[in-house]
Structure 1
Amino acid sequence: MQSSNIKKVLIVLTNTMQYGDKKEPTGLWLGEATEFAKIIQDAGFTVDYVSPKGGFVPLDPRSMKYVDDEIMDFYESDDFKKRALMNSLAPEDVDPDNYSAIYYAGGHGVMWDFPDSEPLQKIALKIYQNNGFVTSVCHGIAGLLNIKLPNNDYLISNREITGFTESEEVLAGKKKIVPFFNQNEAEKRGAKFMKKRAYSEYAVQDGQLITGQNPFSAKAVAKTLVSNFNKNV
């Protein structure tokens, strides 16, 4: 049973289907959504799914190479297919007061539609101001880059965060195709960008911010968030 102290968790997914103007498919990295959501739900909390435009959420086909039985079971569930992939909420459908955390899932697609989504920034800021958590994994950090506090400081300024690294972009073969590097943009905004060996599980908490480095860090972000929730139960 969900604690009355903890509201729902809002998971943000991309609507972007290709790398900018290149005819190469991308989208949500499936495991970053399913692995996180499963841990949150198994802990007794409820998730909703939102995207910058609402509606259909494409999958990065490369992410399907890294599925296991757990990911596939969640992916094939009617709930995930209907509420996440086919009918994600639009920002205007979301009341941030109903959520105790927001989680930005990754996949390269987010680099095109997360950074400049002002409606999502407002939702995240309100959740943060309500003492909720702002969290992300991998490229999902793109959603945090331009969130500003009322004093006009960036939310991530002087905060320890992590995300997909330049060396990981090199290993992924996407260094020349991405519009920016997460570490560069985060540091421009005053963040303290933390990282470990490429593709190793790594999550960082700095107050109400919880971030994970790469696709293999989604579970670590979820477990860290649940641990914080349980302190409030």
Structure 2
Amino acid sequence: MTKILVVLTNTEKYKDINRATGLWLGEAAQFVDVVTEAGYDIDYVSPKGGFVPVDPSSMPTADDIDFKWYGDTDFRRRALAESLKPSDINPEEYAAIYYTGGHGTMWDFKDNIELQQIAEHIYQNGGYVTGVCHGIVGLVNLLDTQTGKRLIKGKKVTGFSNLEERLNRTKKHVPFLAEDSLKEAGAKYKAKRPMKEYVRTDGQIITGQNPTSAKKVAKELVKALKSRTS
């Protein structure tokens, strides 16, 4: 069965304030729920491998699906305790890569060369590069290895907006802004109302604006993958 690679952050706290961060639980759980139901196998990777912290702010809004996966022994072990290192990954095995969010990603996704190489390989093999919320910063430095240009240059994308960052009162505490980074990479960025579901698909690139968009990113990916085998 075709596999999907889910990318998670290792960052536990903001760098300039004593505030915890990490994976936004629902952005993994909602995605995983859809793609596993569709019959796809999943591996979990993080920049350093091993422990993946969960942002405590994601727990008060967690729903039954989030808690279903948070309570799943296999998920807790493979995703949160023993995530794979990039060096463990053979990109030939994956039909898609999905970058989860949470503010922690702002410190360890964008400049990780090993993850970039994995994503670029999957894309060049005809696979899908997907992400949601802050996780989309993992796409910023990806290159089309055939042209040498940014992968998202000229592509329709979305991700956590500057307005959402301001409303979250974190605009001054992140190293850069997700929206700005996408625009600077030449992407055609668009966002809708704060914290409302919004997903954009452009060829092999699928992106979601915020945590409420994770499930739809998964549905769009499943639809795309199924269309290739029908």
What is the TM-score with the length of structure 1 in the denominator? 0.96
Q: Which residue of structure 2 aligns with residue 161 of structure 1?
A: 157
**1:39-68 CA distances to partner (integer Å, 9 max, x unpaired)?**
000001111100000000001110011111
Quote the residue 1:189 is aligned against.
Answer: 185
Q: CA deviation at 1:70?
A: 1.6
Give 1:140-219 correspondences, 5 Å limit: 140-150=135-145, 151-219=147-215
Matched residue count:
228
Contact persistence 2:6–2:98 (CA under 8 A): yes
Which range is displaced more, 175-184 or 107-116? 175-184
> Which consecutive aligned stretches of 4+ in structure 1 deviate over 4 angstroms post-superposition?
none
Find the aligned partners of 1:78 and 1:10 in 2 and give their Cα distance.
19
Partner SS state of residue 155, structure 1: coil
Does residue 1:11 correspond to 2:12, yes or no?
A: no
Query: What percentage of aligned pairs have identical amino acids?
Result: 52
Q: For 1:55 and 1:34, how far apart are their aligned partners in 2?
A: 18
Instruction: Report 1:1-233 matches (<5 A).
Output: 2=1, 7-150=2-145, 151-233=147-229
Kept in 1: contact 2:199–2:209 (CA 8 A) = yes
- Tell me the alpha carbon deviations over residues 3-22 of structure 1, each in whole angstroms, 9 at most, x when there is no partner: xxxx2000000000011242
- The farther-off stretch of 27-36 and 168-177 is 168-177
Gaps of 5+ in 1: none
CA–CA distance in structure 2, aligned partners of residues 12 and 60 of structure 1 = 15
Structure 2-normalised TM-score? 0.97
Instruction: Determine the C-alpha separation between the residues in 2 that align with 1:220 and 1:87.
Output: 27
How big is the shift at 1:232?
A: 1.7
Letter in 2 for 1:228: A
Give the secondary structure class of the aligned counterpart of 1:38: helix
| Stretch deviating more after TM superposition (149-158 or 84-93) | 149-158
